[in-house]
A and B are shown apart, each in its own frame.
Chain A
Amino acid sequence: MNSKLTMGLTHVFLIIFGLIWIYPFIWMVSSSFKTNASFLTSGSNPIPEELHWENYARAWNVANFSSYFLNSVIITLGTVIIVVLLSCLTGYALGRVDFPGRKTIIVITGALMFIPTGYTIIPLYELMKFLGLSNTIFGVVLAESSGAHVLFILLFAAFFSRVPKEIEEAATIDGSGFLGTFFRVILPSAKPVVATAVIMQFIWTWSSFLIPLVLTLNNPELRTLAVGMLSFVGKYQTDWTGMAAGASISLLPVILIFIIMQRYFIEGISGSVK
């Protein structure tokens, strides 16, 4: 078998299939630059005649995407900070200190991975109502941080358990306490794990739908981009190009972050599967 030919055919297959694969994104971006009239007549032709930026202006101003965007940013940042901080603290204690009860906690943490938490949305909603936090940004952030971040905890624990003891001892001799050693010496060395956790949690929260949908049912002002899109489509049924512009605004940050960090991201995932 001619291996050069096989390789060439493989590339042809991968390129054609890859184009089909990302066509929905190309379609979305190109539609966002068309007029509604040319959108309906141009069919599958992805190239717009001229760039109509006003679709973006309409989505941003008229359809409230500016405030949806801000809500998404605040909720995502809040959740990322809480989740990454909590899981790195827990991971350090588990990976570094052999305290009584450590094994029990590790076993429970591992078992949690298999407890389905997807159906807890009703009690979460009632809890937020009880705490007076429904229809507040803080309530959404808290609910978003609720999942068991077993994956991150285990990643941090594994990383911290490999940090040489000498580093910690040297810091202690220099008069650094437990807390100081952790924040000044140990944590900075964990940058790759922190980056992985930040990116993964960012993408999860940015794309989250059910929790923000339910917790902002009575306060449309607090909608995130994903939830706002749904109401946009319901309200402006015929404004396809405005819809495409809104979708582009919603997906752009997450796609950019992914493309910039894709090495970290894909490796982080495959590392955790092992």
Chain B
Amino acid sequence: MDIFFGKDTVMLGPEASDKWGLIESMLDRLVGQGFLGGQTGVNRDGLLEAVRAREKERGTGLGEGFAFPHGRIHGLAKPGLCLALPRNPVDFGAPDGVPARLVALMLVPDDQPQVLLKMMASFARFMGEPTARHMVLGMDDEELLAVLITEKVVNNGVHITAGDIMRPPTTMVRPDATLHDVTRLMSQLMIESVAVTEEDGTLLGHITCDHLFQLGMPDFFSQLKSVSFIREFDPFEKYFAEESKSLARDVMTSDFATVSEDATLLEIVFELAVHRRHKLYVVRDGKRVGVIDRSLVLDRVINI
């Protein structure tokens, strides 16, 4: 990847009261090192505006003390990266609530979102290893850190995989949960489907809202062309009441899609778009390790 990055865009121990202050100082460093040299139509304020807009949509904290503020800039000639290890961790709104100790500001031309995506994946994989994370966070030499990041991240041409973009699993139900509990959980969390797993995470099946409606709805309903001519139908509640006594294992379906952690982005989009799946379970040895749904792909791939 041809990216504007070097020891001069590595900042060790900058002071910042909040993320906005840190972002501005990182931007200043990039611009000060000649990132915009020779480019017309792009200026420092424009960059800041793009990063702010993206940040306001949703925090760019990825979790585990890592943040990736970024912006897609119209008219930019080449991507630029600034790396900062702030003196005090800065809150970037990460899902796990951990403030960022390593912040990578990335600016890319608006027609090159894949560069951003690959960079994020590459960073996440590298920093996912505890020894690498420990080493990076402990470095006190800009040049050495720049060389390391250039070798391990910038020049490390990765392919985006399911493992890079998946969301960690948060909800699941056990096979002996009652349908009453399952529906209550789904309504509380406002989720369309829930996985049924063993204690060790082995994926057994899943239950979707569509599936629940089909269970609660008498079969003949689906055969009718319309029901608008009927104004009142008492036995309706009876059908749902009968089903609520069932257990998750009785009503779950095995009609779900799984992908391995190294499934490519193309495979993922193919499953979601062509096979019209709402959700993909990322599995390792039959155990669920992550989830990818349509909104996640929109968020992490298309709207990045």
Binding partners A and B? no
Name B residues whose Cβ lies closer than 8 Å to a Cβ of A. none
